[in-house]
Structure 1
Amino acid sequence: MSSVAYSGRTNPVVLHTHLTAAPRGAVGDKAAAHTAITESFVAALTVVGKQIKALEAQISTQLARHADRHIFTSLPRSGQVRAARLLAEIGDCRAKFPTAEALICLAGTAPSTRQSGKSRVVGFRWACDKQLRDAVCDFAGDSIKANPWAANLYWQARQRGHDHPHAVRVLARARITVIWHCWHDGVAYDPTKHRALQRLINQDQQAVG
């Protein structure tokens, strides 16, 4: 059975109008040239796709051998590649980040405060490990889809007037604190032990009840 079907929400007359108004395809020599170009693109993308799958398999193999794999793969929507990226950027030297704030600052998710006399400005932190920041923000932004606590923090930041990148950094800062504790304790992330998440779930349940 085909996975593509007509939902019935659009009037058939409208669909027919769109089809008849669509531009005609190329014909003759022009069509042959476009066909050759398209086939070349498809062939190139097929090769690239195979290499991507091979690299992902290699990454998963290397991740499986690491002692901290259970920590990073337990994070919501981390998968294999994202977990490996977080592990690669954070590393496994606990002494490098004795506090969560040390990791937060290196990742550039903590605001930078500059003061001169009576003037105090809080702004974007430019001096940081940009690869680490990109990794934690990528994870944090996607975790919104799988974790109500993450979604709540993100939308609270948006309601305060922050744009999407800023709101993701706010969430990433909180996410790093959770990751740091799991990392230093050597334990996988357990949502049932995440007190802020459980409080939010209980509040939602009480509101429904």
Structure 2
Amino acid sequence: MSVADSPARPRPTAGVDWAKDNHAIAIVDSEGEPIARFSVTHDAAGLRTMVRKLLAANVGEVGIERPDGPIVDALRQAALTVFVIPPGQIKNLRSRYGSAGNKDDRFDAYVLADVVRTDHRRLRPLLVDTDATTALRQATRARKDLVAHRVAVANQLRAHLQIVFPGAVDLFAEIDSQISLRFLERFTTQTRAHWLSPKRMASWLSSVGYCGRIDPTVLHTRLTGAPTGAIGDAGEHAATVTLAFVAVLRTLTGQIDALAARIAEQLHLHPDGHIFTSLPRSGTVRAARLLAEIGDARGRFPTPASLACLAGVAPSTRQSGKITAVTFRWGADKQLRDAVCDFAADSRRANPWADHLYQQARARGHDHPHTVRILARAWLYVIWHCWQTNTPYDPAHHGALQRLHKQEHTAA
């Protein structure tokens, strides 16, 4: 065989162990022997150095533990193929190269590089979502975090009022509602609330545009029937804390509303928005979360089962000898699972097929969280087909739903 006819030698592979300040990089040849090991700082100059050395070594493929960030952007801009290998897999792969189980950044970089070389057929190149989907994901996750902060602050306010102003805790349905916050701003202490009578309560509620259905006399009875809180100087000092919590809740509520408006605009402009808003009881924020967490890189999920597995709604089966165990899937995208299960749990209230599946699973003895995951898995098969064909969900074309309708009609 001539030199010209000889097969091309495989290109070197690299691994990048990501860190906060410095990143360890290893390059290995086609036999797994280290060619170079170096580290770079997490700044523009360091990333340029990393890319320059990788290209100089003729590296074509790189393994890394995370799918986003400036490092991944730099690698992709240099036309390098990126493979994401999660930290949990790296932890298990270390035993290939030694039994000590030591954790070392330089060693992990070598493991990443060598796994790309040896397990290439098992890995999938990183596919990234469009900028519109990435921006929507950032907005929906930020809103979810702010809602969690609002719940935490509301709980702190409730605990504070139970000591200093118990009558205000259960006066209205929600402690962080607009009417509750306005009440606490006007009547900051137990002493100031003593001024209220049923007539004065009705007058104040009318002045703030209260649209609740509870009679002012009932609200006044709730207020006066509660234990007496702090009065005098103690009450005035406690009012400072109350107003601080109220101010934080107002700020959080305002930012949550602003993000919700922005999310609605982004969802309306997104090419896939019509698919997810067509789902039953998906609304706006819920549809946006589903779209943002599933993404629009359709090549990431060649089958609906692959989507269900990443969402953590497909069970994990373990078999050894005569023992087979079907358990909860811990290795999953928790943000995706939360979004899918949130949708599935509420969909049964508007979709007879979803409610039928839910009731069947409950009848088999599954608890609510397990049943929701079963329903979420069924929905993901529907969503996947709509997503892949760019078709909105149409109950008239949902075969299982139509069969259920036919069965009910026959039974009637």
With the length of structure 2 as denominator, give the TM-score of the two structures: 0.45
SS of equivalent to 2:317: strand
1:1-209 equivalences under 5 Å are 3-5=212-214, 22-207=226-411, 209=412
CA shift for structure 1 position 19: 7.7
Residue deviations 1:94-129 (CA, integer Å, cap 9, x gap): 221111111111111111111112221111111121
Amino acid of the structure 2 residue aligned with 1:136 = V
CA distance in 2, matches of 1:56, 1:186: 25
Amino acid of the structure 2 residue aligned with 1:163 = D
Q: Percent identity over the alignment?
A: 61
CA distance in 2, matches of 1:92, 1:2: 42
Amino acid of the structure 2 residue aligned with 1:188 = P
Would you say how many aligned residue pairs link Structure 1 and Structure 2?
200
The change in CA–CA distance for 1:20 and 1:205 in structure 2 (over 3 A counts) is farther
CA distance in 2, matches of 1:173, 1:128: 13
CA shift for structure 1 position 71: 0.2
Amino acid of the structure 1 residue aligned with 2:336 = L
CA shift for structure 1 position 21: 5.4
SS of equivalent to 1:120: strand
With the length of structure 1 as denominator, give the TM-score of the two structures: 0.86
CA shift for structure 1 position 2: 5.0
CA distance in 1, matches of 2:297, 2:282: 21
Cα RMSD of the aligned pairs, angstroms, is 2.2
- Unaligned stretches of 5+ residues in structure 1: 7-11
Residue deviations 1:152-186 (CA, integer Å, cap 9, x gap): 11121111111111000000000101100110111
CA shift for structure 1 position 73: 0.8
Runs (4 or more) in structure 1 with deviation over 3 Å come to 18-22, 202-207
Q: Which has the higher helix share?
A: 1
Amino acid of the structure 2 residue aligned with 1:149 = W
CA distance in 1, matches of 2:279, 2:305: 19
CA distance in 1, matches of 2:257, 2:224: 40
